[in-house]
Amino acid sequence: MGTPPWRINEVLDRAQNGPVCLEKDFDLKFLVTELRRVIKDYDICFDPSTPVPEDDNLVDNLWNAAKDLYLTVGSLCTDTHRRIVFTEDEMKEALGNYPGKFTLGFGRDSREISSRQIADPHKPFCMFTPDITCDEDLFVPMSMAYLKEPLADGVCAPILDETEGIPIRSGYPSEVKGSVAHAMMFREAARRVGRPGIFLKSVGTAESDAAQIAASNPVWGERLTDGRFVASVTELKVNNSLLNKMVHFHTYGCFVGALSGPILGGYAGGPEGTTVVGLAYHLMGLLVNQAHFMVYFPFHLKHTCNTTRELLWVLTTTYQALARNSNLISMSASYAAAGPCTPMVLREAATHALASVVSGSNLWIMAVAKNRHKNYATPMEARMAAEVGLGITKEQLSRSDVNELVLTLLKTYEDNIENAPLGKNFRECYDVQRCKPSTEYLDLYQAIRKELDDLGVPFIY
C-alpha cells in the first residue's frame, strides 16, 4: 500500500497547464454555483436540534456531494490562474492507495496515528498546541508546558512574531532567522522535558516557502519524523509558494499535513455548504496538498470559533462521512470563543471533544480566545479536551448519547459566544519558571471537571 505523494508531477503539471480560470470566476461561476447544485441534488439539510446527528444516509449524501463538487470544480492555483482537476478514477486510485495509518515521532516517544470509525473504541491521536503567537521569552517555557502533558501524543509550538527584538515579516530575512530560531528552541524544549523523540509539528513562524526550507535540518531543526503543513487558500485554492512547500517536504522526507478551514458565512454558505466544502478539502488535501494527514478547522465568519451549534454539526457530519467512506486521517482542530482560566473555555473544550471524537476524528487541541490574542493559551484547555475525548472511547458512548450531552453543554455557553470572556494570559495562568499551572486554574479545572462528571461527561481517569 502506497503513501503520499500521489503522482506529484501530474499535480505540478496541472497547476501550470490546467484550464485557465480567473479567481472571481472560480469563486462565483464554479464553486458557488456547483455547491448550490449539489446541496439540492443530494437533499442536504442542517437540523439544529441534532448537532451530533445519527443519520448515515445524510453523511453518505454529504460525501457523495463533496466528491461530485470536487470532481467538477477542482482546485485553483491563484498564481497561474489554472484549475487543477482530477478524474474519478484518479480519485479512487489515490484513496485506494492511502494506508490509513502512520507512525509519528521516533523511539520510545513515537505514536501511531490512524483513521477512526464512528464511536471507535480506539483512542484518538491527541495533538496539543497553543495555536497562537507568543513573546519570544515565553516560547520555550510555553512549549515545555505543552510537552509535559502526559496525554499529548505530539505537540505543535506557538508562533513567534519577533526575534531578538526584530519584527518577523513574511518574505524578509527576519522570517528565515525567526523560523530557524523557532525550530532550534522547539527541539530544545522537547529534550528538556525528556521527550526528544516526540512528534513535533512546525514551523508556524515560517509563512513563506523559503523560511520553511531554511528550517529543515535533522540535526538542529525539523526532522524526517516531524510534521509540516501545506495549507490552502480559501476556498479550495493553492499557490506556487504552497506547492513549493509540498515539493520540498516530500523530497526532504518529513510528514505532510494539509491545513484547511472552510468559512461558515463565506463562499461556502451555511452549515450544509461548509460541510461539503470541508469534505472536498480532504480530497484536495490528498490529491493536491499530497498530505499524510489533515487538520481541519471550519470556523464561523463572525465569531471565528467552531464551538457553535452550526459548526459542531459541520464537524460531526464531516467526520462521520469520512469514517464511513474513506480511511483518511484527520484531526479536528478546536477553536474556542472564550479564553484561558474561564469556565466557558473548559466547557467548550469538552463539547468540541465529545462531538468530534464520537464522530471519528483525532484531536488537534486547541486555539482559544477566538485565536486572536497573543499569549492567550495554556495546556489546561487541551488537557480538558483530551481527558474527555479519551473518556468517550473508554465508555464507548454512542452518537445519540453524545448529542444529548452536547445539547446540555451548549445551553451553558451558547448565548455568550459573541461576548465570550477573554480570560487570562499564559503568564497569569502559569508559573513560567516551573511551567506549572496556577492554583487558581487548577481549582477551576477541578470544579468544572466535577460539574461535567455530574452531567455524565466521561473522563479517561
Q: Which domains does the chain have, with CATH numbers?
A: 101-455 (3.20.20.460)
Is the pLDDT at 2 greater than 80? The verdict is no
CA of 359: how far to CAs of 75, 87, 124, 128, 184, in Å? 27, 29, 11, 20, 37
| pLDDT band at residue 51 using 50, 70 and 90 as cut-offs | very high
CB neighbourhood size of 228 (10 A):
24
Average pLDDT, the chain: 97
Instruction: Report pLDDT for 138.
Output: 98
Is the pLDDT at 176 greater than 70? The verdict is yes
pLDDT > 70 in the chain, percent: 100
Give the pLDDT confidence of 110-166 residue by residue, as tens digits: 999 999 999 999 999 999 999 999 999 999 999 999 999 999 999 999 999 999 999
- Of 340, 329, 323, residue with least CA distance to 383: 340
Is the pLDDT at 1 greater than 80? The verdict is no
Is the pLDDT at 193 greater than 70? The verdict is yes
**What's the CA gap between 3 and 71, in Å, rounded?**
22
Instruction: Report pLDDT for 59.
Output: 98
| pLDDT band at residue 3 using 50, 70 and 90 as cut-offs | confident
The crossing angle, in degrees rounded to 10, of helices 88-96 and 56-73 is 120
Is the pLDDT at 30 greater than 90? The verdict is yes
The mean pLDDT of 3-19, rounded to a whole number, is: 94
Give the pLDDT confidence of 222-266 residue by residue, as tens digits: 999 999 999 999 999 999 999 999 999 999 999 999 999 999 999
Instruction: Report pLDDT for 6.
Output: 87
Kindly report the pTM of this predicted structure: 0.97
Instruction: Report pLDDT for 369.
Output: 98
Non-local (6+) Cβ contacts of 369 within 8 A are: 132, 336, 337, 338, 339, 340, 345, 376, 377, 420, 422, 423
Instruction: Report pLDDT for 202.
Output: 84
List alpha helices for 360-398, DSSP H: 379-395
Give the pLDDT confidence of 54-75 residue by residue, as tens digits: 999 999 999 999 999 999 999 9
Biggest CA-to-CA distance, the chain: 60
> C-alpha grid cell for residue 228?
509540516
Instruction: Report pLDDT for 356.
Output: 98
The mean pLDDT of 419-435, rounded to a whole number, is: 98
